[in-house]
Chain A
Amino acid sequence: MIETKDLRFRYSDTLPFVLEGLNVTIKRGSFVAILGHNGSGKSTFAKHLNAILLPSGGKVLVDGMDTVDEDRLYDIRQHVGMVFQNPDNQIVATLVEEDVAFGPENLGVPQKEIRVRVDEALRAVGMYDFRDRATYQLSGGQKQRVAIAGIIAMRPRCVVLDEPTAMLDPVGRREVMRAIHDMNRTLGITVVLITHHMNEAVDADRVLVIDHGKLLLDGTPREVFSQAETLYRADLAVPQPVELIYALRRDGVDIPGDVLTVDECAEALYHLLKSRTNTRG
């Protein structure tokens, strides 16, 4: 669905490259998390996926359309929607449903169809009951869900979310993550989630780690997080269970290293402690 070929980018000819030759293919319907610490180039990468930024070198193809092709610009932007960090700065209208309708209105969708899409999109993120509320009265998590609904109403094939939970409290974060997973599962929309919360990446199909504009790791969450050392070197944290097991193994404790979730971690520790009592007794 999206393919980048040797994608290179710099903001001006005199500045160093922010992206240094990225080759990434994102499959339709997948849930891809992109990790990287501040300044790694992950947001810059995201902005290439719907032609907000154009490559300085290499290519970005969206369903075969080159993002440099200006004639296909609006097709590309309709196919690849984008949700940003600050919900306040991406809501255009005063009323929830008016805001969700903004995208379809721009696409010239007939009036009756807009109504259908707005209702569908609001139901998909669980905000239907708030459709005639003023947007400023909503909580951060609710605003961000409205922003996601605004993109869903454009019927995109892929949604890129650039740290959508960074400004939210834990409750809002949970709400938004649930909405994102629902969108991926029930609507089959490809999700590209840019984040620096490790726990949000754990549930992805695939995790990419970008460091200094290069692809550092690429694989399933289990594969990526088993490389704790590499992640630490890229100034990234790892999920807490992984961190604990890593520290234990480093200190010479004999425990399996492929632990990812809290449950698995508890299981591994249980077995460890049990075997110890057995040998002692």
Chain B
Amino acid sequence: MLKDISLGQYIPGTSVIHRMDPRLKIVLTLAYIVVLFMAKGPLSYGLVLLTLGLIIVLSRIGVRFVLRSVRPLLFIILFTAVLNMFHVDGDVLWSWWILKITRQGIETAIYMALRIAMLISGTFVLLNYTTSPIMLTDGIEQLLGPLKRIHVPVHELAMMMTIALRFIPTLIEETDKIMSAQKARGADFETGNVIRRAKALIPMLVPLFVSAFRRADELAVAMECRCYRGSEGRTRLRTLKLQGLDYVAIAIAAVLAAGIITLGVVLP
């Protein structure tokens, strides 16, 4: 139950999207977002939708999961859309008091909603669903590699992320245990108002933090015993290397991006 959070929303698989280099996926996701904001008019939006469709089909994730990623943000999408609907000037279709709806307003609202939905589902499919957290941290570490020259502790940050990911399930399990222990001694986490419930959490958080510090200390000693000394002279079991598949992806992405930008910026 609670444990499922641990691997993020990664859905293991062997599709081409899963097998792509995580660095490339991060770059392509950024490119996708940029291109998405350059799209304008039905033709370029159509092409973005086609791109998204292609990614979803190739990832074999299933539309149901993709829609699930959008659902938590449905309210924000609708809110933004409605706000846009009333704020754009143009041919008035309906008005009451200071409120008016224009044709252009409705158009903008639809585009805006589509844009946010495509933004979220696209990044989820490319990064969250098809890239394991380890691959993601590896990818980020290598992409940020050049920043080492200006003394950004890239390796250390990536190591921290890896350890954090590693300890999420452990600490969740521990939280469960402490909660059961407190409940067994009559603690009440469920009733009362917000303040009362927040107060009830304190006797749970204290032991959790104490044990987290103890774990951190033991882990540090264990890491020292295994000769950890930062990134200096460190090799890796797995190194990332662009493969044929990745070059194909780059080519397809470039063509699609060019198409979307042309349709969005030049044509409308």
B157 within 8 Å of A by Cβ?
no
User: Chain B: interface residue count, which band?
Assistant: 20 to 34
Flag if B237 contacts A90 (CB, 8 Å).
no
Flag if A88 contacts B227 (CB, 8 Å).
no
| CB-CB contacts below 8 Å: B162-180 with A | 162-163, 165-166, 169-170, 173
Give Cα A98 to B134, complex, Å.
Answer: 10
Known: A92-B166, A102-B228. A114 touches B218 (CB 8 A): no
A186 within 8 Å of B by Cβ?
no
Flag if A86 contacts B235 (CB, 8 Å).
no
Flag if B219 contacts A89 (CB, 8 Å).
yes
B50 within 8 Å of A by Cβ?
no
Flag if A105 contacts B224 (CB, 8 Å).
no
A43 to chain B, nearest CB (A): 11
B243 within 8 Å of A by Cβ?
no
Flag if A108 contacts B233 (CB, 8 Å).
yes
Interface code A86-121, partner B: CB below 8 Å = 1, 0 otherwise? 101111111101100111111111110011001000
Flag if A101 contacts B237 (CB, 8 Å).
yes
Known: A52-B224, A136-B3. A74 touches B229 (CB 8 A): yes
Q: What residue of chain B has the Cβ atom nearest to residue A80's Cβ?
A: B225
Known: A107-B227, A111-B237. A89 touches B166 (CB 8 A): no
B227 to chain A, nearest CB (A): 4
Q: What residue of chain B has the Cβ atom nearest to residue A102's Cβ?
A: B226
A144: chain B residues at CB < 8 Å are none
A165 within 8 Å of B by Cβ?
no
B30: chain A residues at CB < 8 Å are none
Partner of B219, one of A50, A92, A94: A92
Cβ-closest 9 pairs across A and B: A90-B222, A101-B237, A89-B218, A136-B169, A103-B226, A108-B233, A82-B225, A106-B227, A89-B215
Give A contacts to B, CB under 8 Å.
50, 52, 74, 77-78, 81-82, 84, 86, 88-95, 97-98, 101-111, 114-115, 118, 134-136, 150-151, 154
**Contacts A77-B224, A94-B7 supplied; 7 other A-B pairs, CB < 8 Å:** A82-B222, A82-B225, A94-B133, A102-B223, A104-B237, A111-B236, A154-B227
6 residue pairs from A and B, CB less than 8 Å apart:
A90-B218, A92-B162, A97-B237, A136-B170, A154-B226, A154-B227
